[in-house]
């Protein structure tokens, strides 16, 4: 017998009372009728005079209620009022929950799925229907989706799970809540479970919002459904709902409708393990992980906007159909394709040096021949394959640059495993975020990396690069050594090669402009990076490379030429000396040198240590590249003086597209006579294209991408070797492709601000987040910084904004010569000199011992951090280091 529902209280935040309704529904199994409380926008749409294109069926979890979905309820009505496709939203309160009836008996998962079907039958719900679920409500919604394929048009889920792996304990909060003697007390007798759930929001919920969630659960009787929901969690086949969960999981794997998975990775209950399982079952799903969001993602992030945008893109009439699988990409063009390891195949009988590692531990130089490298790659590849590593599985590589890293990466590529590379320079937190976000199947690492994997709970079967004692293996959870893997692969056959358009690698960005993003490359795209590099710089087997920049060290074998890593700490570019570069050039008989800007600083600083033999060796270099960040003329010229016969280049690129434009030292000098401000990075390489999307008065890039010279805006690029997508960042991907040319090519909004000149050269003026929105319009920082650096008393300068958006005021923060010992206001004479040099009205000039930079390149100034520091300092805060 059903009890009467409690009327929806007045004054709940963000709730229009007209959305609330009660529907009496007969239970198809027992015939009993129960009152269901819903938030339903049908009436609001009727009043607007619009017909819905479909229905969003939203199901809350435990211990929330339909209030969880108030934002999408409201947003859908607002969107319909603007003429956008109208979606009816039905957000239910499940029986025994929210303001629906208390039935007097617990509901199993199977009953809840059946209950939802009874409700939609009573409503006469017709398709198309898109389900939306969260927590255990996500399972119920997916169960309804599996049972109603004739109505289903799409599925959307926020942090939920349909499968839990055997032998893995359920999440700790659920273990505690379900413990004998704790369940009733924590969930029913007291509101502890409810309060603990509400405390998971990031940022914390407003008091009135917390009160709204508490409204239907004031008494122990009201909370009986919360306890029963927890008690019904299926852990193994001894639980009543385990079979139903398994049925739903199998059914989800058969769904082919568009799918969207929105995730809060900091959820202590439904973590990335469950997202990875759903992605395996729904390989065509669009996925977005909101870094920093937790369990209550519907409170933490703008999920409603994401869902409505996705519906317009994927489900509404005329929307684009999703890809058959996430990793399927049409060929980029008709250019010839050869896999990245083709040079190894070609030179597998060659005993000449392929890799010369002068940064090896113990001060020894390691020489690895083409024959040995190819053999090592093949044996590791075959060993991994015979050990169960399959095409498409992810392998996180926590190995420092060197021959071992090269062999492991080429072995993984050869069998179609997806290499996940995140720089240790991200720091423990950033690296952990990247690895957990990629959710690898295998982790290959040294002891330090494996210890982090164990301590931080990273996923994946663990393989050590060294053979460890039994106790160490057990402590680190290591299953195999690399030597054992290679031995297993000795004489074993290799699997079929992956296709050109299979996913090959996920490379993480530096994290200098926010959480590091995983950039997805197919085999075709990685090979295109090699090809554009080889063609533009005329690299042959006889060129020989010195690579003081770790990413390019891996390309030597792909280019088919020997490469040498100088004696340095490759994770700390500033440890490279001029003598180490000369020694590497001699060892490899190299004609090309790659260095990062941070490495160049110390190479130039140590040039006085060069011997005559060193200078003779450097005189043989024909091409010098500085990659990683733009380099100014003085530093490039100082490096060119060390290699007098080399043509210096400084290409512009990013993790998403490693080579976009290129400029030589002569080109930089020629650009110095131009009236333009910023850093000139040259013209597009090969068939690459560069356009500019103009900024509006608020600093937003809204203009259609164009090639008109002199227009300040966001740099928009296209190239054969442009990344495939971001990993599990659908919204970021969409934003990067928004308002780009619809010409059949792939385009990317870089986040860089710049302009083109009349000669078609690209000038970089800063990053979008660093643009100052002043009363006179947007101002990019690089040009004003260059003005300040004309002073002989300034080593480096940063121009940042303080004050409200639209009225930002410019502040100069400078490193001085000689350096100051602590931050402070600039001396009056220096401040006056810099104000005279600046085209901006500087409200303050501050000096610091060193400007903060990003952790990977040690060269990109962290202007966001400086802006916050300057704002706080000038508001009267303590003047500590930025």
Torsion angle defined by CA atoms of residues 299, 301, 73 and 735, in that order, rounded to the nearest 10 degrees: 180
Facing residues of 778 across strands? 773
pLDDT over 50 at 524, yes or no: yes
The predicted structure's pLDDT at residue 333: 54
Per-residue confidence band for 269, with pLDDT thresholds at 50, 70 and 90: very high
pLDDT above 80: residue 291: yes
Element (H, E) at 37: strand 33-40
Confidence at 173, pLDDT banded by 50, 70, 90: confident
Contact status, residue 52 vs residue 45, Cβ threshold 8 Å: yes
By three-state DSSP, how is residue 260 classified? strand
Q: Is the pLDDT of residue 4 over 90?
A: no
Could you read off the pLDDT of 646-660 as tens digits, one per residue?
999 999 999 999 899
> What pLDDT was estimated at residue 607?
95
Which has the higher per-residue pLDDT, 423 or 287?
A: 287
Q: Does domain 17-167+236-314 have CATH number 3.40.50.1820?
A: yes
Q: Is the pLDDT of residue 491 over 80?
A: yes
Q: Write down the pLDDT at residue 165.
A: 81
The full set of domain ranges for the chain reads 17-167+236-314, 327-549, 566-650, 660-721+731-765, 772-874
CATH 3.40.50.12780 fits 327-549, yes or no: yes
660-721+731-765 classified as CATH 2.30.38.10: yes
Which pLDDT score is estimated for 422? 86
**Which residues does residue 445 pair with via DSSP β-bridges, in sequence order?**
398, 464
More confident residue, 511 or 163: 163
pLDDT at 549 over 90: no
Q: How far apart are CA 708 and CA 877, in angstroms?
A: 44
With a cut of 60, say whether residue 322 has pLDDT above it: no
Q: What is the mean pLDDT of residues 845-853?
A: 91
As a whole number of angstroms, the distance between CA 207 and CA 189 comes to: 22
> What's the CA gap between 87 and 211, in Å, rounded?
29
Q: How confident is the model at residue 564 (pLDDT cuts 50, 70, 90)?
A: very high
Band (5; pLDDT cuts 50, 70, 90): very low
pLDDT at 175: 66
Q: Per residue, what are the HEC states of 197-245?
A: HHCCCCCCCCHHHHHHHHHHHCCCCCCHHHHHHHHCCCCCCCCCCHHHH
Average pLDDT over the chain, rounded to an integer: 91
Tens digit of each residue's pLDDT (9 = 90 or more) over 678-693: 989 999 999 999 999 9
Amino acid 84: pLDDT:
92
The neighbouring-strand residues paired with 801 are 810
What percent of the chain stands above pLDDT 90? 78
Quote the pLDDT of residue 848.
95
Helical pair 242-252 and 136-147, crossing angle rounded to 10 deg: 60
User: Of 6-20, 411-425, 618-632, 846-860, where does mean pLDDT reach its minimum?
Assistant: 846-860
How many other CB atoms are there within 10 angstroms of residue 132's CB atom? 28
Question: Any idea which of 194-198, 229-233, 422-426 has the lowest mean pLDDT?
Answer: 422-426
Reported as a single tens digit per residue, the pLDDT across 785-812 is: 999 999 999 999 999 999 999 999 999 9
C-alpha 340/C-alpha 415 separation (Å) is 12
The residue-averaged pLDDT of 318-325 equals 51
Q: H-helix or E-strand containing 394?
A: strand 394-398
User: How far apart are the C-alpha atoms of 762 and 770, rounded to whole Å?
Assistant: 18
- For residue range 535-545, list pLDDT tens digits in order: 999 999 999 99
Give the tokens for residue 519: 């950039």
Least confident of 93-102, 246-255, 566-575, 602-611: 566-575
Q: Does residue 35 have a pLDDT over 70? A: yes
442-470: average pLDDT = 92
Angle between helices 370-386 and 403-415 (to 10 degrees): 50
Check for a shared fold between 17-167+236-314 and 327-549. Answer: yes
Q: What size, in residues, is the chain?
A: 882
User: Domain 772-874 class?
Assistant: alpha beta
Whether 325 has a pLDDT exceeding 90, the answer reads no
* Counts of helices then strands in the chain (DSSP H, E): 32, 36
The 8-class DSSP code of residue 437 comes to H
């Amino acid at each position: 017998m059903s009890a009467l529902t409690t009327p929806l209280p007045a004054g709940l935040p963000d709730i229009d009372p007209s959305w609330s309704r009660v529907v009496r529904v007969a239970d198809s199994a027992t015939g009993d009728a129960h009152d269901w409380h819903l938030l339903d926008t049908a009436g609001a749409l009727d009043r607007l005079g619009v017909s819905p294109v479909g229905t969003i069926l939203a199901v809350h979890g435990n211990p929330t209620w339909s209030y969880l979905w108030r934002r999408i309820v409201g947003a859908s009505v607002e969107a319909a009022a603007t003429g956008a496709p109208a979606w009816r939203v039905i957000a239910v309160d499940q029986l025994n929950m929210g303001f629906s009836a208390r039935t007097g008996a617990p509901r199993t998962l199977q009953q809840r799925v059946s209950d939802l079907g009874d409700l939609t039958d009573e409503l006469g719900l017709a398709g198309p229907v898109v389900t939306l679920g969260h927590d255990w409500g996500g399972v119920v919604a997916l169960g309804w989706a599996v049972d109603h394929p004739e109505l289903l048009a799409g599925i959307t889920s926020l942090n939920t799970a349909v499968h839990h792996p055997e032998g893995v304990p359920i999440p700790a909060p659920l273990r505690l809540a379900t413990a004998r003697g704790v369940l009733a007390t924590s969930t029913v007798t007291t509101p502890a479970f409810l309060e603990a759930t509400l405390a998971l929001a990031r940022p914390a919920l407003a008091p009135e919002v917390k009160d709204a969630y508490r409204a239907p659960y004031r008494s122990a009787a009201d909370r009986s459904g919360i306890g029963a929901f927890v008690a019904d969690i299926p852990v193994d086949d001894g639980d009543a709902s385990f079979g139903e969960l398994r049925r739903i999981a199998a059914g989800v794997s058969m769904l082919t409708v568009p799918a969207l998975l929105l995730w809060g990775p900091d959820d202590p209950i439904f973590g990335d393990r469950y997202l990875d399982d759903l992605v395996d079952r729904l390989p065509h799903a669009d996925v977005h992980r909101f870094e920093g969001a937790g369990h209550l993602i519907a409170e933490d992030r703008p999920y409603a906007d994401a869902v409505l945008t996705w519906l317009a893109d994927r489900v509404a009439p005329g929307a684009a159909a999703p890809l058959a699988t996430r990793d399927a990409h049409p060929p980029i063009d008709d250019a010839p394709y050869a896999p990245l390891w083709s040079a190894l195949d070609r030179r597998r009988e060659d005993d000449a040096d392929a890799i010369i590692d002068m940064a090896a531990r113990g001060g020894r130089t390691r020489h690895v021949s083409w024959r040995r490298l190819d053999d090592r790659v093949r044996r590791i590849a075959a060993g991994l394959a015979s050990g169960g590593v399959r095409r498409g599985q992810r392998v996180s590589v926590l190995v420092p640059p060197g021959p071992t890293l090269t062999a492991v990466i080429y072995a993984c590529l050869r069998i179609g495993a997806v290499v996940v590379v995140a720089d240790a320079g991200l720091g423990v937190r950033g690296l952990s975020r990247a690895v957990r976000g990629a959710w690898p199947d295998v982790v290959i690492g040294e002891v330090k990396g494996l210890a982090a994997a164990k301590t931080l709970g990273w996923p994946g079967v663990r393989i050590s690069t060294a053979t460890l004692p039994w106790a160490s293996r057990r402590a680190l959870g290591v299953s195999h050594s690399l030597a054992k893997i290679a031995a297993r692969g000795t004489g074993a056959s290799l699997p079929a090669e992956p296709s050109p358009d299979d996913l090959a690698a996920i490379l993480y960005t530096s994290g200098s402009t926010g959480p590091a993003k995983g950039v997805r490359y197919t085999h075709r795209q990685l090979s295109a990076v090699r090809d554009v590099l080889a063609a533009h710089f005329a690299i042959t087997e006889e060129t020989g490379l010195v690579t003081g920049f770790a990413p390019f060290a891996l390309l030597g074998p792909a280019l088919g030429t020997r490469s040498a890593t100088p004696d340095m700490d490759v994770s700390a570019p500033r440890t490279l000396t001029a003598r180490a570069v000369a020694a590497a050039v001699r060892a490899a008989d190299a004609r090309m040198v790659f260095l990062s800007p941070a490495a160049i600083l110390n190479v130039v600083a140590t040039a006085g240590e060069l011997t005559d033999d060193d200078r003779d060796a450097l005189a043989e270099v024909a091409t010098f590249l500085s990659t990683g960040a733009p380099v100014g003329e003085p530093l490039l010229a100082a490096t060119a003086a060390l290699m007098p016969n080399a043509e210096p280049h400084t290409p512009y690129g990013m993790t998403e597209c490693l080579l976009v434009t290129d400029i030589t030292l002569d080109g930089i000098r020629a650009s110095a006579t131009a009236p333009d401000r910023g850093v000139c990075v040259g013209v597009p390489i090969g068939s690459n294209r560069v356009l500019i999307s103009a900024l509006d008065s608020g600093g937003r890039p809204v203009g259609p991408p164009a090639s008109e010279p002199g227009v300040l805006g966001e740099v928009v690029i296209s190239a054969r070797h442009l990344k495939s997508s971001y990993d599990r960042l659908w919204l970021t991907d969409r934003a990067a492709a928004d308002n780009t040319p619809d010409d059949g090519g792939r385009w990317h909004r870089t986040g860089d601000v710049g302009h083109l000149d009349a000669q078609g050269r690209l000038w970089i003026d800063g990053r979008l987040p660093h643009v100052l929105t002043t009363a006179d319009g947007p101002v990019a920082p690089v040009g004003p910084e260059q003005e300040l650096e004309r002073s002989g008393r300034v080593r480096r300068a940063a121009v940042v904004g303080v004050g409200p958006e639209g009225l930002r005021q410019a502040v100069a923060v400078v490193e001085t010569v000689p350096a100051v010992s602590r931050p402070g206001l600039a001396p009056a004479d220096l401040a006056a000199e810099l104000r005279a040099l600046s085209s901006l009205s500087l409200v303050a000039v501050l000096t610091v011992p060193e400007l903060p930079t990003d952790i990977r390149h040690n060269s990109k100034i962290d202007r966001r951090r400086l802006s916050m520091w300057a704002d706080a300092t000038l508001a009267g805060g303590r003047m500590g280091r930025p």
